Amino acid sequence: MATAPRIVRAAAIQIAPDFDRPDGTLDRVCSAIDEAASKGAQLAVFPETFMPYYPYFSFVLPPVLQGAPHLLLAERAVVVPGPVTQAVAERARARGVVVVLGVNERDHGSLYNTQLVFDADGTLALKRRKITPTYHERMVWGQGDGAGLKVVDTAIGRVGALACWEHYNPLARYSLMAQHEEIHCAQFPGSLVGPIFAEQMEVTIRHHALESGCFVVNATGWLSDEQIRSVTPDPNLQKALRGGCHTAIVSPEGRHLAPPLTEGEGMVIADLDMALIAKRKRMMDSVGHYARPELLSLAIDDRPAATTVPMHTLSSHPRSPDHDDDRRPRIEPRTESRAGGQPPADDGAPVLRVAAG
């Protein structure tokens, strides 16, 4: 008996935050989930750190002027779990929609660029933090860790997520590919840098779709002219807060499944025919028959970052004179042959070892 085709309807949402009301952006998220569900969407993807809003101020203001907006962002940031995650979980469950939401997460005195994946039953399936904030963002967010580089099973399939320039970290992308993601949710801020940002974004998401053999659902934010003026009154700096929007859905064959959205608010909606994954991977499976793990492989430290380590978990032997932590990755050099100083022909590549603990 032939297997019935599996189709997932996805919505990539291009939307503006609410800079004024603390709960305004959350209201916009819930309304957008309702609208996406009314159009038959089973997946709704929002822009990077959409709750309460992306820190646009950090791109155009010098550090000496960032204090007040940074503190306001921290005040309105999302605690996970908390009232915001509860509200989104309830809406996801009520509508039966998988929701991928970017938030500014507050964890005590630090902020993080965090991606949340809510399953269709409202369960928080994944919380991950951007591993390396980009350029100006390092003034705002702390670094994430490898614990969030996970693909999760959801009602619509295996879902992975990365934020913005994490897509330029090929090993981060490969870590998700190796977990056989079927739907990759990408999030970018939008309304930033200018048209070149959108052009680069398109190349990036189409390449990941081709290389991983998965669907990519990408969402970017939008700012109105009034919002741009509220970030900076300088007309020259305002130019840096326009363009850079490319909300799109791409197939495993690298094709757009609907026209991308580059201006204004709206949704890109498309049906994902999951059979296209097998069609693509039959020819090129980067983590299967097209891989060469005996030559090239990836080692991941997937432990959550910790600022304290109990003494009993540390190695009993003393540290080296340069005080290197024994839990750090270590490169084991190749063993050289007896003649000519060259490694044997069958010698393996250097192995990156991560101490357990």
Active site residues: 48, 130, 164
Nearest to 241 by CA among 25, 73, 60: 60
C-alpha span between 55 and 73 (Å, rounded) = 8
Contacts of 297 (CB under 8 A, 6+ apart): none
Paired sense of beta strands 110-118 and 124-129, if any: antiparallel
The total of other beta-carbon atoms located within 10 Å of residue 279's CB is: 13
Cβ pair 181, 152 in contact under 8 A? no
Per-residue tokens: 186: 């990408």
Cis peptide before 69 (omega within 30 of 0): no
Q: Is 87 left (phi over 0), alpha (psi -120 to 50) or beta?
A: alpha
Nearest to 188 by CA among 144, 119, 229, 243: 243
For residue 313, the 8-state DSSP code is: G
**Inter-residue contact 88 to 29 (CB < 8 Å):** yes
Q: Is the Cα torsion angle 194, 204, 141, 324 positive or negative in sign?
A: negative
**DSSP designation for 218:** E
What letter would DSSP give residue 247? B
| Residue 50: C-alpha distances to residues 16, 55, 176 (Å) | 8, 10, 23
